[in-house]
Amino acid sequence: MVSALGLDLGARRIGVAGCDRTGLIATGLTTLYKTSFESIIKPLEALIQERSVEVLVVGLPYTMDGEIGFQAKKIQKFAHRLSKVLELPVEFVDERLTSFQAEQMLLAERHSLANCKELIDRKAAAIILQQWLDERRLRL
Closest to 14 measured CA to CA, from 29, 27, 31: 31
Q: Return mean pLDDT, the chain.
A: 87
**Residue 57: what pLDDT?**
97
N-term to C-term CA, the chain: 11
What does the pLDDT look like over 35-50, one tens digit per residue?
Answer: 999 999 999 999 999 9
Q: Residues for the chain: how many in total?
A: 140
Q: Which residue has the higher pLDDT, 23 or 110?
A: 23
**Stated pTM of the model:** 0.87
Do 53 and 4 meet the contact criterion of CB atoms below 8 Å apart?
A: yes
SS (H, E, C) 77-131: HHHHHHHHHHCCCEEEEECCCHHHHHHHHHHHCCCCCCCCHHHHHHHHHHHHHHH
Q: Which residue has the higher pLDDT, 48 or 118?
A: 48
Q: Which residue has the higher pLDDT, 51 or 121?
A: 51
Residues 6 or more apart whose Cβ sits within 8 Å of residue 15: 6, 7, 8, 28, 31, 118, 120, 121, 122, 123, 124, 125, 126
